[in-house]
Amino acid sequence: MMNEPLQETLMRFRTVQDILDWTRTYHHHLAEGYRQLSGSSSRERARMLLDYLADHQEKLERGIREYETDAADKLLRTWFQDVRETPLPESLDKADQTLRDADTPQIMYMAMEFHDVLIRLYTDLARQAPTGDLRQLFTGLADMENHEKMRMVRDAMRFEDL
């Protein structure tokens, strides 16, 4: 998985609710995958990093769920045409063999790639948003993913110092 970019195609139509549901599921699958990898890793630092990444993804999943609960129904029902479709990570099965004995830089490269998928999606959606509210929503989500990516890298560097 690390050497293969996630394949993206266009979905015909999706609501904001569909997009947020997919994003929440994406974070959930990543959290599960990181937990599975942590259990099979032979390196202590890698296990610690994978557990951190799982916690990180669970936090992002909760954040999306809270947003969905608080968002206006009208906003959630807004339709988008030609939304980038990206397959969910397959519980990181392909990465499992590669990362079982990986060091932390290899794991971080993979984790950053997963964040980049969402950053590209949100940036595309902000560009094609029909209203200022939607543009602000997706720009904010792209900014959040960028911020979380930088935070994740900073925190991962601390694992290297242990």
Query: CATH number for the domain including 157?
Result: 1.20.1260.10
Q: According to the model, what pLDDT value does residue 90 have? A: 57
Query: Apex CA 41: angle with CA 105 and CA 7, to 5°?
Result: 60
Question: When comparing pLDDT for 151 and 105, which is higher?
Answer: 151
CA–CA separation, 157 and 45 (whole Å): 11
Cβ neighbour number for residue 23 with a 10 Å cutoff: 22
Average pLDDT over residues 118-126: 90
Average pLDDT over residues 121-140: 90
The verdict on residue 4 lying in a domain is no
The verdict on residue 37 lying in a domain is yes
Q: According to the model, what pLDDT value does residue 10 have? A: 45
The verdict on residue 29 lying in a domain is yes
- Encode pLDDT of 4-27 as tens digits: 444 444 455 588 998 899 899 989
- Encode pLDDT of 33-87 as tens digits: 899 888 887 788 888 999 999 999 999 999 999 988 888 888 899 888 766 666 6
In the predicted model, what is the mean pLDDT of the chain? 81
Structural domain containing residue 130? 12-78+91-161
The verdict on residue 150 lying in a domain is yes
CA–CA separation, 72 and 77 (whole Å): 9
- List Cβ neighbours of 101 (8 Å cut-off, separation of 6 or more): 41, 42, 43, 46
The verdict on residue 119 lying in a domain is yes
Question: When comparing pLDDT for 10 and 133, which is higher?
Answer: 133
The verdict on residue 36 lying in a domain is yes
Q: Smallest Cα–Cα separation from 109: which of 149, 56, 59, 60?
A: 149
pTM: 0.82
Q: According to the model, what pLDDT value does residue 28 have? A: 92
- List Cβ neighbours of 51 (8 Å cut-off, separation of 6 or more): 34, 35, 38
Q: Are 85 and 126 in contact (CB under 8 A)?
A: no
The verdict on residue 83 lying in a domain is no
How many CA atoms, within 13 angstroms, populate the side-chain half-sphere of residue 47? Answer: 6
Q: How many domains does the chain have?
A: 1
The verdict on residue 2 lying in a domain is no
Helix 44-70 with 104-128: angle, nearest 10 deg: 20
3-state secondary structure of 88: coil
